[in-house]
């Protein structure tokens, strides 16, 4: 039996290999004195506390280093942002897709249906996305009902996180946009969004209490903003476009009208500024379209359209 790790001596950096599931395997093939015993003698493999720190630090900061240059950044991991990430990552597995989510918990407003009730209504034909994800629902004719909104959100989130070309940085806020002269404009007059400025969310929310907490940056040729219409940072990019002079004024979301709101959001999903695509309810603030209330099909379809727009831009 190979010796267990002697307490107080960190094992050398173990070369990591990909195993059949794409997970990292301990290349030394050591065996440990472990026992899955629920009768009172459960034994774990030994560990040094610093090994846990190193396992996290190495992966997270390697990821930050590698994703400082991404192909697509998606701001916001709500139903639109996650639907976009799923469709984009599946369609273009070559793209490095980085999701920035301000909350610790991704998912945005899609953990519940309406008024804290749990069922989620999705109008046809957006039920096709539920089929693709394998989310069960009840068919009510013109719409379907997922028994709990969290069933959709947890499913799309898990599918997105399992895709090898997607990384999620949650508890991380986009607190500005990188803008530079658009290289596609021979006159050199047009501005292009070329990345995001980030900080830990708790830092971004506390700039008034501490100075000099400067941000980090991630550059990418395409940014997709899906920051919603409410919440502490809702409609972030739409508001920033106005304050930096790239948008004359906010359209401001109109009253509730499901039949007008959902097609307006999906059909209006587009590149609202060079390099910046907008999707989901943030678009209602940008354009002044109606809100739809507790029906989520437009978020899914808008996210898919945003992914298709990103591919179009990257391929031109
Ligand atoms: O769920 P949301 O808010 O936004 P969408 O557009 O994905 O879905 C909207 C949908 O839930 C509705 O509002 C429904 C359909 N109701 C309509 C109605 O009429 O009321 O997700 C946005 C995500 C959130 O998780 C935020 O935390 C995040 O974006 N976020 C940010 N993340 C990083 N940096 C930021 N600056 C930022 N701002 C928001």
Q: Pick the residue whose CA is nearest to atom 36 on ligand 1.
A: 174
* Whether the CB of 303 sits within 6 Å of ligand 1: no
Query: Which pLDDT tens digit goes with each residue over 102-126?
Result: 999 999 999 999 999 999 999 999 9
Nearest residue (CA) to ligand 1, atom 11: 109
Compute the distance from residue 10 Cα to the ligand 1 centre, in Å: 44
Q: Is 174 annotated as a binding residue?
A: yes
Mean pLDDT, residues 75-101 taken together: 98
Count of C-beta atoms within a 10 Å radius of residue 51: 14
Q: What is the ipTM of this complex?
A: 0.99
CA of 29 to the centre of ligand 1 (A): 45
Res 61: pLDDT: 95
**Residue range 275-294, pLDDT digits in tens:** 999 999 999 999 999 999 99
Mean pLDDT (the chain) is 92
What global pTM score does this model have? Answer: 0.93
Is beta strand 16-18 parallel, antiparallel or unpaired with respect to 24-26?
A: antiparallel
Give the Cβ contact number of residue 283 at 10 Å. Answer: 30
| Residue 166: pLDDT band with limits 50, 70, 90 | very high
* DSSP-assigned states of every residue in 188-214: S--EEEEEEEEEEHHHHTTTTTSS---
Model pLDDT for residues 16-48, shown as the tens digit of each residue: 555 555 544 455 566 778 889 999 999 988 888
Q: Which atom of ligand 1 is nearest to the CA of 256?
A: 19
281 annotated ligand binder: yes
Per-residue pLDDT reduced to its tens digit, 124-162: 999 999 999 999 999 999 999 999 999 999 999 999 999
In the prediction, which pLDDT does 11 show?
53
| Ligand 1 atom with the shortest distance to the CA of 100 | 33
* Predicted pLDDT at 9: 47
Which residue from 199, 268, 280 has its CB within 8 A of the most atoms of ligand 1, so it is best to mutate? 280
The response to whether 37 counts as a known ligand-binding position is no
The answer to whether residue 268 scores a pLDDT higher than 80 is yes
Distances in Å between the Cα of 101 and the Cα atoms of 34, 52, 194, 229, 281 are: 38, 24, 18, 15, 16
Mutational test site, ligand 1, from 81, 227, 262, max ligand atoms within 8 Å of CB = 227
279 CA: nearest ligand 1 atom: 6
Q: Are 279 and 84 in contact (CB under 8 A)?
A: yes
Residues contacting 123, CB < 8 A, separation 6+: 142, 143, 258, 262, 295, 297
Give the residue, out of 104, 108, 200, with the most ligand 1 atoms within 8 A of its beta carbon, to mutate for a pocket test.
Answer: 108
Cβ proximity of 300 and 129 under 8 Å: yes
């Amino acid at each position: 039996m190979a010796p267990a790790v002697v307490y107080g001596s960190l094992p050398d950096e173990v070369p990591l290999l990909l195993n059949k599931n794409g997970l990292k395997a301990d290349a030394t093939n050591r065996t440990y004195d472990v026992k899955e015993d629920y009768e009172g003698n459960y034994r774990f493999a030994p560990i040094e506390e610093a090994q846990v720190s190193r396992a996290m630090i190495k992966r997270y900061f390697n990821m930050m280093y590698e994703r400082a240059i991404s192909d697509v950044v998606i701001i916001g991991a709500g139903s639109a942002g996650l639907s976009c990430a799923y469709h984009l990552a599946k369609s273009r597995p070559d793209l490095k897709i980085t999701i920035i989510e301000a909350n610790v918990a991704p998912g945005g407003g899609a953990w519940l249906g309406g008024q804290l009730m749990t069922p989620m209504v999705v109008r046809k034909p957006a039920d096709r996305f539920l089929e693709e994800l394998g989310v069960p629902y009840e068919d009510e004719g013109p719409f379907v009902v997922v028994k709990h909104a969290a069933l959709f959100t947890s499913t799309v989130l898990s599918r997105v996180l399992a895709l090898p070309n997607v990384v999620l940085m949650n508890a991380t806020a986009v607190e500005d946009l990188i803008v530079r002269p658009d290289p596609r404009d021979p006159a050199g007059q047009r501005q292009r969004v070329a990345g995001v400025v980030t900080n830990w969310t708790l830092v971004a929310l506390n700039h008034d209490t501490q100075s000099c907490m400067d941000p980090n940056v991630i550059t990418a040729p395409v940014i997709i903003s899906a920051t919603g219409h409410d919440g502490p940072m809702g409609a972030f990019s739409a508001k920033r476009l106005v304050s930096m002079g790239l948008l004359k004024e906010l359209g401001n979301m109109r009253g509730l009208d499901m039949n007008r709101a959902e097609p307006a959001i999906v059909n209006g999903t587009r590149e609202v500024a060079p390099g910046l695509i907008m999707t989901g309810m943030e678009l209602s603030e940008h354009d002044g379209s109606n809100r739809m209330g507790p029906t989520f099909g437009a978020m899914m379809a808008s996210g898919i359209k945003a992914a298709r727009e990103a591919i179009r831009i990257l391929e031109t």
